[in-house]
Structure 1
Amino acid sequence: MKEIKKTPDLNRKAKLEAFDRLLTIMDELRENCPWDMKQTLESLRHLTIEETYELSDAILEGDLEEVKKELGDLMLHNIFYAKIASEQKEFDVADVLNSVCDKLIGRHPHIYGDVDAEDEKAVKENWEKIKLQEKGNKKKSVLGGVPKSLPALVKAMRIQEKARGVGFDWEEPKQVWDKVEEEMQEFHAEFNPEEGEVDQAKAQEEFGDLLFSLINYARFVNINPEEALERTNKKFIKRFQYIESESAKDGKSITEMSLEEMDEYWVKAKKL
């Protein structure tokens, strides 16, 4: 085994005490609070999804105070799930933590074993290969670990990342961009109302291919397409709300304004 660098954690005792405090509070709430007593794995599921998106928003806003709060909420949910499972005699939080520790050690043979991994690409390739080789792994495909319920854009990115993890990827950005242009031409060929009736099903299929290729290119040049799109969403909302507020100050109703009038406010919003 290789020598592992380890910087002393001067705050380890406080971290362990805080974790123990959370476990104690969870035990107390589960036995004494009417709401907490009623919760199940299923009832908490949608709340966890909501908390995850709130954490994502805080990260994009660069609000570290909110990031801290949302991480706390997610930590609580993790403890909550483990508490419920322990009551059902299935597993407890120690099993959860030991399981992920064992997985991390097994998936990092370049740290805890004698495997060499010179860069990030090699690490990812090893990770995917080990996943398929692990005893008891029921997923026969590299793509088997991509959750079915992921939003389509995020799912496309994860599919591409996992394929790349076993070497199925383009070699140069130009190759990927050529594919984007090819898909754009194919979409335009199907969706060209000026030349006759549009086959909506084929146009939709080609548009999906175009989106997939754009996501692939973004990934290839180290742009997170989900984050990029969400930042554009936030930018559009901010500019549109500027139109609403500033036009109201001028005594205008946005529902009665012309596109040219709204565009004047839009230009002002962009300058800000």
Structure 2
Amino acid sequence: MKERYTVDDLQYLMSQLRNPDGGCPWDLKQSFASIVPSTIEEAYEVAEAIERADFGHLSEELGDLLFQVIFYAQLGREEGHFDFSQIVDALVRKLVRRHPHVFPSGDLYAENVNTGIDEAQIKQNWETIKASERAAKGEVGTLGGVAVGLPALTRAMKLQKRAAQVGFDWPDIEGVLDKIAEEVQELREAVASGNMEHAREELGDLFFACVNGARHLQVDPEVALRQCNRKFERRFGAVESRLEATGKKLADASLDELDRLWDAAKADEKIRD
């Protein structure tokens, strides 16, 4: 057994898992489409490890995510679309192209000099280059090329950033907060009317406005909501534990009692903080 395996070993392992003669039956059944859910799940597990600063676990999660790329590369090679080396080649070329301030000659290994460009200009150049790449792919318009399959909050953020680049934006957070209040009122009116289709539309408008708030506050809405989810789990778990200590189950408690326990859980967290 080798002292340390490499990416080449990982590619060989993948080829053996997909070997029709003695490979893994599960891996042999997979396709590009079937492993997409696993890819998304692995990406979120990487994000969670980072948010928890669990760097020991992060190494493992990054390996799981890398395996997804290796899996796609194997499928691409089998079907004649591409292989791992082509993935790497395209990535390196794109990154060199998008960093002319680091690689002004366009050559990864050429001797380069610091161009003295500031961060704002770097960002502007990056967006200009990406816009040119999108145009080459036929993705026209300011909002062209924003992937439809992204999580809705993430896609809303990307759409808003694109629009903001051409000046379609509130000048400050106050305008966004006013818009959120406006959308809340419109949602109330839609609910009161009994038109649930309209209520769903207004709820979407409220989410979209809240994402705009996150953007102005320079907060990732997905991260903020994940943090909120963890907080809810933690506090709800505390409520459940307090009930169990008295011999009760959740179903046995009144809403008033649950509210009191919830407030106690919040108070405990403030004391610890």
| TM-score > 0.5 by shorter chain | yes
CA offsets per residue over residues 50-71 of structure 1, 9 Å max, x none? 2222222222322222221111
Structure 1 residues 85 and 192, CA gap change in structure 2 (3 angstroms): closer
Shift of 1:244: 1.3
Structure 1 residues 221 and 116, CA gap change in structure 2 (3 angstroms): farther
1:5: which partner in 2? none
Structure 2 CA distance for aligned equivalents of residues 103 and 67 of structure 1? 26
Shift of 1:223: 1.3
TM-score w.r.t. length of structure 2: 0.81
Shift of 1:155: 1.1
Structure 1 residues 207 and 53, CA gap change in structure 2 (3 angstroms): same
- State the AA in 1 paired with 2:6: A
Shift of 1:231: 0.6
Shift of 1:96: 0.4
- State the AA in 2 paired with 1:259: L
Structure 1 residues 155 and 186, CA gap change in structure 2 (3 angstroms): closer
Give the CA RMSD over aligned residues. Answer: 2.8
**Residues 76 and 83, structure 2, Cα contact 8 Å, conserved in 1:** yes
Structure 1 residues 59 and 186, CA gap change in structure 2 (3 angstroms): closer
Determine which of 13, 21, 24 is the counterpart of 2:9. Answer: 21
Shift of 1:157: 1.0
Structure 1 residues 90 and 185, CA gap change in structure 2 (3 angstroms): closer
Report how many residues are paired: 253
- State the AA in 2 paired with 1:133: S
- State the AA in 2 paired with 1:217: G
Higher relative contact order (CA 8 A, sep 6+): 1
User: What does residue range 50-199 of structure 1 map to in structure 2 within 5 Å?
Assistant: 50-113=41-104, 117-119=117-119, 121-134=120-133, 136-164=136-164, 166-168=165-167, 170=169, 172-173=171-172, 176-189=173-186, 191-192=188-189, 197=193, 199=195
Partner secondary structure for residue 43 of structure 1? coil
**Residues 157 and 216, structure 1, Cα contact 8 Å, conserved in 2:** yes
Shift of 1:116: 6.8
1:7: which partner in 2? none
Partner secondary structure for residue 251 of structure 1? coil
Shift of 1:257: 1.4
Structure 1 residues 122 and 215, CA gap change in structure 2 (3 angstroms): farther
**Is residue 211 from structure 1 mapped to residue 207 from structure 2 by the alignment?**
yes
**Residues 139 and 145, structure 1, Cα contact 8 Å, conserved in 2:** yes
Structure 1 CA distance for aligned equivalents of residues 37 and 228 of structure 2? 26
Larger fraction in helix: 1
Structure 1 residues 73 and 62, CA gap change in structure 2 (3 angstroms): same
- State the AA in 2 paired with 1:216: N
Structure 1 residues 180 and 208, CA gap change in structure 2 (3 angstroms): farther
Shift of 1:30: 2.5
Partner secondary structure for residue 47 of structure 1? helix
Partner secondary structure for residue 111 of structure 1? coil
**Residues 191 and 198, structure 1, Cα contact 8 Å, conserved in 2:** no
Shift of 1:202: 4.3
2:109: which partner in 1? none
Structure 2 CA distance for aligned equivalents of residues 204 and 177 of structure 1? 25
2:108: which partner in 1? none
1:3: which partner in 2? none
- State the AA in 1 paired with 2:60: K
- State the AA in 2 paired with 1:215: V
1:220: which partner in 2? 216
1:30: which partner in 2? 18
Structure 1 CA distance for aligned equivalents of residues 15 and 187 of structure 2? 60
Structure 2 CA distance for aligned equivalents of residues 51 and 157 of structure 1? 22
- State the AA in 2 paired with 1:30: R
1:10: which partner in 2? none
Shift of 1:203: 4.3
Structure 1 residues 101 and 142, CA gap change in structure 2 (3 angstroms): farther
**Residues 190 and 202, structure 2, Cα contact 8 Å, conserved in 1:** no
